[in-house]
């Protein structure tokens, strides 16, 4: 399968796990506003927000999305999710 087809499968995300986590963080009201709050608190402290920091702050280590993907899976693209958090 070509890289273009794979990217299309996951809406531009590296893999299904990353896409699913991003989907829930961006579309679940509680997670979205939590991520925005986390980002704002980081900015107030003069710290760059990261996805790893967000999942620690939100207590999501070991938790899964409603679709069964771990928020802290080694398979997800942490850099892409950090970029997502910073763009909120």
User: Nearest-CA neighbor of 54 among 69, 33, 74, 68?
Assistant: 33
Q: What is the pTM of this model?
A: 0.88
What ranges in 1-88 are assigned the alpha helix state H? Answer: 3-9, 16-27, 29-45, 51-57, 78-87
pLDDT digits (tens, 9 = 90+) for 42-86: 999 999 999 999 999 999 999 999 999 999 999 999 999 999 999
Confidence of residue 8 (pLDDT cuts 50, 70, 90): low
């Amino acid at each position: 399968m070509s890289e273009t087809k794979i990217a299309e499968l996951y809406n531009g995300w590296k893999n299904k796990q990353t896409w699913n986590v991003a989907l829930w963080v961006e579309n679940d009201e509680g997670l979205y506003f939590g991520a925005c709050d986390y980002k704002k608190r980081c900015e107030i402290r003069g710290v760059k927000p990261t996805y790893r920091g967000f999942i620690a702050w939100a207590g999501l280590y070991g938790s899964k999305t409603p679709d069964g993907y771990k928020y802290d899976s080694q398979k997800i693209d942490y850099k892409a999710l950090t970029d997502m958090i910073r763009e909120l």
